[in-house]
Structure 1
Amino acid sequence: MEVRHQPNGRIPGDTVVLKILMQKVRSLELNLTVLQEYIKELNRRHANTSPELDKELSKNTLLLEKANHEIKALIEKKEVMENEIGKLEFWKFDVAS
C-alpha cells in the first residue's frame, strides 16, 4: 500500500487529528482561565469572611468563659447550701433528741 504525502510532508489524516487536538487545547486553555478566575473569586470571598468568623469566634469564646465562671459559682453555692442543710439537719436531730 502506498501512502500519499501532501506537499508539507503530512499524511491527510494528520490534519484532522491536529485540528481536533488544537480545539481541545484551546478548550483546556479557556477552562483553565475560567478556573483561575473562579479560584480568585473564592479566595476574595474567603478573605472577606475570615475576619467576620474570627470576630464571631471571639464573641463565642467570651460567652463560653462567662458561662463557665457562672457554672463554677453555682457549684460553689450548691456546696455551701448542702453544707448548711447538713448542719441544719444535725441541729434538728440534736434538738429532737
Structure 2
Amino acid sequence: MTKLIKTLTAIAAAGALSAAVLVTPTEPAQARGGAVAAGIIGGLAAGAIIGGAAANSGYGPGYYYGPGPVYYGPHCWWHRERFWDGWGWRIRRVRVCN
C-alpha cells in the first residue's frame, strides 16, 4: 500500500510540474486583482498537499506500526459422511471444525 501511495504521489507531482511547464503565459504578469497572490497561495497549498501525501507513509521516526492482532477463527471444512438411518446407508455433508 505504501508503494502505491508513493507511486501515485510521484505521478501527481510529475503531472503538476508538466502542467506548469506546458501552460506558459503569453503576456507579462501584472499584479492586479490579487492574481499573483492567489497563484502563490494556490501553489503553496498544492505543495503542502503533495508533500503531506508523500511524507505520510504510516511509519514515524522510531515507531513501527506492524499489523494488528488478527483473529483466526476455527478452521472448518465440509466432509461427506456415510451413516445408517435405520432403512439403509446414506451420505450427508457434515461441517468439521478443529
TM-score normalised over the length of structure 1: 0.32
Larger radius of gyration: 1
Greater relative contact order (Cα < 8 A, sep 6+): 2
Normalized per residue, the structure richer in strand is 2
Normalized per residue, the structure richer in helix is 1
TM-score normalised over the length of structure 2: 0.32
